[in-house]
Amino acid sequence: MAAKKPASKKKPAAKAPAKRVVNINAIAKSLDDAAREAKAIAQISDTVELTLQEAYQVQKQMIALRQKRGERRVGIKMGFTSRAKIVQMGISDMIWGRLTNGMIVEEGGPIDFSRYVHPRVEPEIAFLLKRPLFGLVTPMQAMEAVEAIAPALEIIDSRYDNFKFSLADVVADNASSSGFVTGPWVKPDFDFSNLGLVLNFDGKPVQIGSTAAIMGHPVRSLVAAARFAAEAGEPLQTGWIVMAGGATAAEALSPNQHVEMEMEKMGRVSFSTRG
Ligand code: 0L1
Ligand code: MG
């Protein structure tokens, strides 16, 4: 009698990998809505891991939505250019974001706290360009394009729950940019590589630092900005502002606060929050 064939053990059919769906426009709209409604959303990386290239596409599309509403580009901001910011947010890759005139906060003026999700402020230095700048440039070539420098404050406001994000999340969210204030513009005809600065809330110091915290010399951030801008096909333009990145960790803002930063040799820059 023929031996009984063992019942064949059928391998379960391999599951097709879930299709990766990335809708750049839909993600840009959800971030833009979150910013306009001042309502945090879940991180994009909870549902889809964007590549860095896709994240910058989302950022570009989000800015296009602002431009459709009448805003215009006025510059770029650099992010994670200091150790303090890298340690605070746990991200060590330098990033950049696009600035529009809708983000300008009048020096000394008030901001309406209810228009933000969970705003923070960080002390920076800003460059004003007198000619276009892009590509691989030396610090000296970068400085030849600078009309003036100013002490500046950046108001960052992540559109994500709990101000938590991955690298791609924060790039898509325009590097958390929300507002910026510039103080007195001065000719950059002196050494600004190591200027002491103090950030005060209601007259009390909350952060003390130096411009040297920005890559050893803030001009290095401008050099990097020129390279990023060229890679994106968006050369830095005459009249644009480049925000060099936070020199210290960012501080959370509260309603009804006076915020001021004093930078050695450069002067003061301030704004206040209204509840
Ligand atoms: O200046 C900066 O380093 C800003 C980084 C932006 C990301 C963030 O901290 O939310
Ligand atoms: Mg910043």
**Per-residue pLDDT at 171:** 98
Average pLDDT over residues 93-107: 98
- Which of residues 23 and 13 earns the better pLDDT score? 23
Please report whether residue 109 resides in a domain: yes
Give CA separation, 270 vs 61, 108, 153, 217, 242, in Å.
31, 5, 8, 23, 18
Q: CA-CA distance, 197 to 192, in Å (whole number)?
A: 12
Instruction: Report the nearest-CA residue for atom 4 of ligand 1.
Output: 79
Q: What percent of the chain has pLDDT over 70?
A: 93
Q: CA-CA distance, 27 to 35, in Å (whole number)?
A: 13
**Per-residue pLDDT at 21:** 85
From the alpha carbon of 244, which atom of ligand 1 is closest?
Answer: 1
Please indicate whether residue 248, judged by its CB atom, sits closer than 6 Å to ligand 1.
no
Ligand 1: centre distance to CA 168 (Å): 13
Please indicate whether residue 85, judged by its CB atom, sits closer than 6 Å to ligand 1.
yes
**Per-residue pLDDT at 1:** 44
Please report whether residue 249 resides in a domain: yes
Please indicate whether residue 176, judged by its CB atom, sits closer than 6 Å to ligand 1.
yes
Q: CA-CA distance, 275 to 258, in Å (whole number)?
A: 12
- For the CA of 155, the nearest ligand: 2
Q: How many domains does the chain have?
A: 1
Grade residue 118 by pLDDT with cuts at 50, 70 and 90.
very high
Ligand 1: centre distance to CA 100 (Å): 17
Range of the domain at 240: 72-158+180-274
Averaged pLDDT score across all residues of the chain: 95
Picking from 219, 167, 170, 198, the residue whose alpha carbon sits closest to that of residue 261 is 198
**Are 128 and 99 within 8 A, CB to CB?**
no
Please report whether residue 7 resides in a domain: no
**Per-residue pLDDT at 84:** 97
The distance of Cα 143 from the centroid of its chain, to the nearest Å, equals 22
Q: CA-CA distance, 242 to 232, in Å (whole number)?
A: 15
Ligand 1: centre distance to CA 101 (Å): 19
Most informative mutation of 86, 176, 241 for ligand 1 (most atoms within 8 A of CB) = 176
Grade residue 12 by pLDDT with cuts at 50, 70 and 90.
low
Please report whether residue 217 resides in a domain: yes
Please indicate whether residue 178, judged by its CB atom, sits closer than 6 Å to ligand 1.
no
Structural tokens at position 153: 């404050």
User: What's 212's domain CATH number?
Assistant: 3.90.850.10
Please report whether residue 102 resides in a domain: yes
From the alpha carbon of 97, which atom of ligand 1 is closest?
Answer: 6
Q: Is residue 5 scored above 90 in pLDDT?
A: no
Lookup result for tokens 């930063």: 261
Please report whether residue 267 resides in a domain: yes
Average pLDDT over residues 34-60: 97
Average pLDDT over residues 92-114: 97
Q: Is residue 13 scored above 90 in pLDDT?
A: no
Q: CA-CA distance, 274 to 254, in Å (whole number)?
A: 9
Ligand 2: centre distance to CA 14 (Å): 47
Q: What is the pLDDT of residues 174-192, one digit of tens each?
A: 999 999 999 999 999 999 9
**Cβ-Cβ contacts under 8 Å for 153 (sequence gap 6 or more):** 121, 122, 123, 124, 180, 181, 199, 259, 261, 269, 270, 271
Q: What is the pLDDT of residues 200-222, one digit of tens each?
A: 999 999 999 999 999 999 999 99
Instruction: Report the nearest-CA residue for atom 2 of ligand 1.
Output: 79
Q: What percent of the chain has pLDDT over 90?
A: 92
Based on its alpha-carbon atoms, the radius of gyration of the chain, rounded to whole angstroms, reads 22
Grade residue 2 by pLDDT with cuts at 50, 70 and 90.
very low
**Are 213 and 84 within 8 A, CB to CB?**
yes
**Per-residue pLDDT at 17:** 64
Q: CA-CA distance, 71 to 227, in Å (whole number)?
A: 25
Please report whether residue 108 resides in a domain: yes
Give CA separation, 157 vs 35, 59, 77, 258, 271, in Å.
8, 15, 14, 18, 16
Structural tokens at position 237: 């333009």
Q: What is the pLDDT of residues 231-243, one digit of tens each?
A: 999 999 999 999 9
The pair phi, psi for residue 179, each rounded to 5°, is -160, 160
Please report whether residue 82 resides in a domain: yes
**Per-residue pLDDT at 20:** 79
- For the CA of 121, the nearest ligand: 2
Please indicate whether residue 156, judged by its CB atom, sits closer than 6 Å to ligand 1.
yes
Q: CA-CA distance, 200 to 5, in Å (whole number)?
A: 83
**Per-residue pLDDT at 46:** 96
Q: CA-CA distance, 267 to 243, in Å (whole number)?
A: 17
Ligand 1: centre distance to CA 143 (Å): 24
Ligand 1: centre distance to CA 122 (Å): 8
